[in-house]
Structure 1
């Protein structure tokens, strides 16, 4: 796969020093594939035996795949070992995030965590392992940590040294390369009533473009296009994003096509705490994909690693036999369809910098070591009060060797409402991997044609 190379201007001596420290020595990088997995997780299990060793993840033929691309549950006989509830959570609280405890207290009769045997299913193509190994000794932070230099394909810092590098791993993690998906989103009322919004999303990494040119696309990580197809009042609206690797040097560029007005407009609000698309005010722009965009408004502190019960191997929740009505309930999704497992996570705290603006004064991240996906993020308001709790229900799409979210949830503890996005249970052929495209499909001029109803 071709390299994405960023070029930067002159740096101060301080930035040069910090950039040099970002890449690790060859001897330390040699741990990848030895004591560490090829992307940097601890290969060994834990001392208690409740987390097994990683042995390569699921094979590509771990289960069947139906005509619409849904993968079968490779563990159909698994049953919960125990269920964490509001009545018994105290005996498990060392392995729970504050937001999970808050949800148990907020919904004591319905919110629960069914805990299953831990299965370390993550696996990726060998090309990704090779890219991570190269990045370990070559990729550097630039511009105060808000951009990357010499980055290759995925997973910028497989042996991270601080919280910012961990967050960059989430941002640059492997998600299957270029893809097209059809998904649904809901923002239920307090009583559970909801209406669906459906999207067609395209994510195209520039190094997979048919017309890829490093000189032209060097600072662009990927193009993102999102078209609303339902309901009819929103159908035809399209969002286009050029996601940059260094968003301080070259901020994210975004445009919106409004089908009613038939106009394309710049959309600078599609960043940070700008409102999320058709989210009824329940998420910010940077809540999508659990967290996205420039990290420059926060100070990032690496707390360390811990063992946490996180959503994992969500095959039952993602099943095509499950309907949206089965998932969406008052207060939260149907927790009986979920699966939690004990995994090691990287714990990172993000605190809003002095003089910067964001509705979240602090964010508390818990990032799965085997995939670099954020699993749980707690969001605090400017007064330091826990406000919103995000959980990502992930699974291994073993047929294409891609760890990915089945769906994301964002719970508002104050209003009692929530957002669930990424559902595809009732869609036909919802995912297309290895999606091929040219860069001219992702220009403002091409946007208007995309939005024809």
Structure 2
């Protein structure tokens, strides 16, 4: 394999010479690269010659097959699998896989990675791109690193100087301003049996509220509400989160409404390694979206960039022609339906700080440069053993210029079980963007109304 695919790219070498604890925004001269040699959100425009093409603006037009109904049909149905990586050839491609991906292939005899041509479809609306450019010279980490200063919206650090800034780019990335989605989560048994848990989720940036006024709740980045709609034994339970920007000033606010008790209570455990909602112990709270929440329990190290085969343009996995039974198989999803492409990713390692507690002692993150979405995460337990491997199956929302996920997976290599979150194939109205939300809809008092069965 060409070893140059795994060395640091010249375009970011300068950043690794800076202190990993730098708090400063970049200079105007550095920011001038955005929109020139870098995309407006900070990816390298240039390709690598033969595998990764030049970025030319992303996918901004819907295919003729799309009906405008939130079911995003495959814009590349003619693309064919180029080759697959399995146990017979995994060592040949190991330079372009994470240790977790390699271990997953070796762990399951029938698991493989189907590789397709690389299409750089990721992009964002023009106003989001412009705000990201402005953020480059204004947004800073607070002194402890556990929050942001001068931040309102869009990607915080398009030219990141350390690993923590890269992770904040994933946390702050634009997700549509305000949207509603109906999704399912499954935690299959080793034999493949599963029972879906269904959710209705709403997400709204503070600045996207219909009644937003400057200065209103100005330490909140976004509001998130998750209501369980099935099965009946869980239906009516609702989670509400106010995600704060400066978590030293104020930690995440979270509340739970229990439909059985008919009461709302604060939920401080909805963070870090608290149990994920209705996940049968298969994920932590901060596993959702591959990573979320305060980063203060870890030391973050920027390793650089490399080229990795990651799930991308995964439209088939969101097809309404598939049932959940078509996707969910013993041990892992049906990889015949997946699509992987070679993309440049930022590699960040998070190591648990001395004196802090978390079930994951170390995590290796691989973040797509074109979208700032985390693509792959390798999770290690406190003894240093590789434990869980997460992947997000990327899908560009081409009628709104928003990168998203078809769904995310989390494989437990020790137990042989796994979790899939974000399935939409059997759901009605899977995604609705541009929903109108007002601040009163994200209050603890509103949870009781949302929890009525």
Under a length normalisation based on structure 1, what TM-score does the superposition of the two structures give?
A: 0.94
Partner residue in 2 for 1:328: 328
Alignment of 1:79-94 (within 5 A): 79-94=80-95
Conserved 8 A contact 1:247-1:293: no
Partner residue in 2 for 1:32: 34
Conserved 8 A contact 1:39-1:129: yes
1:351 is paired with a residue whose SS is strand
Distance in 2 (CA, whole Å) between partners of 1:371 and 1:63 is 24
Partner residue in 2 for 1:12: none
Deviations 1:385-424 (A, max 9, x none): 0000000001111111111011000010011000001000
Q: Using a 3 Å threshold, how does the CA distance of structure 1 residues 171 and 30 change in structure 2: closer, same or farther?
A: same
Conserved 8 A contact 1:140-1:149: yes
Residue 276 of structure 1, CA deviation: 0.3
Partner residue in 2 for 1:180: 180
Deviations 1:134-177 (A, max 9, x none): 00000011031111111131100000011010000010011111
Partner residue in 1 for 2:212: 212
Residue 22 of structure 1, CA deviation: 2.7
Greater displacement, 242-251 / 98-107: 242-251
Distance in 2 (CA, whole Å) between partners of 1:197 and 1:248 is 34
Alignment of 1:321-400 (within 5 A): 321-400=321-400
Conserved 8 A contact 2:20-2:301: no
Conserved 8 A contact 1:71-1:399: no
Q: Tell me the matched-pair count.
A: 435
Conserved 8 A contact 1:328-1:334: yes
Greater displacement, 432-441 / 31-40: 432-441
Deviations 1:238-264 (A, max 9, x none): 001111111222000111110011111
Indicate yes or no: 2:115 matched with 1:115: yes
Distance in 2 (CA, whole Å) between partners of 1:395 and 1:127 is 21
Indicate yes or no: 2:318 matched with 1:318: yes
Alignment of 1:35-434 (within 5 A): 35-47=37-49, 49-66=50-67, 68-108=69-109, 110-434=110-434
2:436 is paired with a residue whose SS is coil
Distance in 1 (CA, whole Å) between partners of 2:443 and 2:72 is 34
Conserved 8 A contact 1:188-1:330: yes
Distance in 2 (CA, whole Å) between partners of 1:412 and 1:248 is 33
Q: Using a 3 Å threshold, how does the CA distance of structure 1 residues 113 and 19 change in structure 2: closer, same or farther?
A: closer
Conserved 8 A contact 1:189-1:417: yes
Which ranges in structure 1 are unaligned for 5 or more consecutive residues?
1-16
Greater displacement, 282-291 / 246-255: 246-255
Residue 19 of structure 1, CA deviation: 8.7
Greater displacement, 110-119 / 65-74: 65-74
Q: Using a 3 Å threshold, how does the CA distance of structure 1 residues 216 and 59 change in structure 2: closer, same or farther?
A: closer
Under a length normalisation based on structure 2, what TM-score does the superposition of the two structures give?
A: 0.94
Which ranges in structure 2 are unaligned for 5 or more consecutive residues?
1-18
Partner residue in 2 for 1:23: 25
Partner residue in 2 for 1:13: none
Displaced runs of 4+ in structure 1, greater than 4 A?
17-21
Distance in 2 (CA, whole Å) between partners of 1:442 and 1:42 is 38
Deviations 1:31-75 (A, max 9, x none): 00100011000000014x100000111122344322632122111
Partner residue in 2 for 1:8: none
Partner residue in 1 for 2:3: none
Distance in 2 (CA, whole Å) between partners of 1:68 and 1:167 is 32
2:315 is paired with a residue whose SS is coil
Conserved 8 A contact 1:63-1:72: no
Distance in 2 (CA, whole Å) between partners of 1:280 and 1:221 is 29
Conserved 8 A contact 1:134-1:152: no
Conserved 8 A contact 2:154-2:172: yes
Distance in 1 (CA, whole Å) between partners of 2:103 and 2:169 is 28
Conserved 8 A contact 1:60-1:400: no
Distance in 2 (CA, whole Å) between partners of 1:448 and 1:395 is 34
Distance in 1 (CA, whole Å) between partners of 2:360 and 2:22 is 31
Conserved 8 A contact 2:136-2:156: yes
Distance in 2 (CA, whole Å) between partners of 1:71 and 1:104 is 29
1:188 is paired with a residue whose SS is coil
Give RMSD over aligned pairs. 1.3
Distance in 2 (CA, whole Å) between partners of 1:295 and 1:436 is 30
Distance in 2 (CA, whole Å) between partners of 1:206 and 1:433 is 15
